Amino acid sequence: MTYWEDRTLFIDGEAIVIDKPAGLAVHPGARTPESLEDYLHQLRFGFKRLPLPVHRLDRDTSGCLLLARNPKAHKAFQRAFENKQVGKTYVAILDGVPEAEAGTIDMALGKTSTAQEGWRMVADATGKAAVTHWRVAAVREGRAVVVFTPETGRTHQIRIHASEGIGIPIAGDPVYGLGKGPMLLHALSIRVERGTKPAIEASAPLPPTFVNAGLGDVL
């Protein structure tokens, strides 16, 4: 079995869901010359067309990433995201324990940029709506394992909602937290409705960073 076959969580004629490793960007950029685009040819699995990512995960976020196997499917899946027919769950380890056990963060987001720090997302009442539901799944050694269910899919949404909405950043977050060690954020599951066709459903196992932190058995 090849590396990408081993990381394929779902596949049919329209879709592939892979378990993206942390450290690999979805798209190339100035700081990320290596990206998933370098490996799309290995994800054809017999098709002539290259699959195309439908959404993105941050470079340091692992887990479920949906790819479309043809342009028609890509458009259909994009509509599903726009129409909120996609359910996603994430799990993260926070650098502390929230006072509440669960909650909803309704915090609009905008982008800011400075020459010193580069760009980042900030709470912005005039920005794009962003809503995230969360609950504490476990507490270990002063850190909370939190399951996030976002209603929207804004850039860095869960990361800034954790740091600004809950008040505790995700462990290892280099932008909104202390940046010590790997960022412990994982796209745990995805479900995409397809009308009369069976839904796309996939779950990604917790990565070694969670297991090494003694949290491989919390979910």
Architecture of domain 3-212: 2-Layer Sandwich (3.30)
Handedness of CA 51, 52, 56, 59 (dihedral sign): positive
Q: CA 157, 161, 163 angle in degrees (round to 5)?
A: 125
CB-CB contact of 168 with 177 (8 Å): no
For residues 174-196, give the mean pLDDT.
Answer: 93
Q: Tens of pLDDT along 70-123?
A: 999 999 999 999 999 999 999 999 999 999 999 999 999 999 877 666 778 999
Reply yes or no on whether the pLDDT at 218 is more than 70: no
Provide the percentage of residues in the chain whose pLDDT is more than 90: 81
Q: What is the pLDDT of residue 131?
A: 97
For residues 81 and 77, give the distance between their C-alpha atoms in angstroms, rounded to a whole number. Answer: 6
Handedness of CA 207, 208, 209, 210 (dihedral sign): positive
- Among this protein's residues, is 6 annotated catalytic? no
Specify the range with the lowest mean pLDDT, choosing from 98-102, 123-127, 178-182, 214-218. 214-218
- What are phi and psi for residue 158, nearest 5 degrees? -65, -35
- Measuring CA to CA, which residue among 190, 215, 216, 218 is closest to residue 203? 190
For residues 90 and 75, give the distance between their C-alpha atoms in angstroms, rounded to a whole number. Answer: 24
Catalytic hit among 6, 19, 58, 106: 58
- What does the domain layout of the chain look like in residue ranges? 3-212
Specify the range with the lowest mean pLDDT, choosing from 14-23, 29-38, 45-54. 29-38
Q: Tens of pLDDT along 192-217?
A: 999 899 999 999 999 988 877 766 66
Q: What is the pLDDT of residue 151?
A: 94
Reply yes or no on whether the pLDDT at 23 is more than 80: yes
Q: What is the pLDDT of residue 179?
A: 85
Provide the percentage of residues in the chain whose pLDDT is more than 70: 95
Reply yes or no on whether the pLDDT at 153 is more than 80: yes
Q: Which two tokens stand for residue 170?
A: 């995700």
Reply yes or no on whether the pLDDT at 48 is more than 90: yes
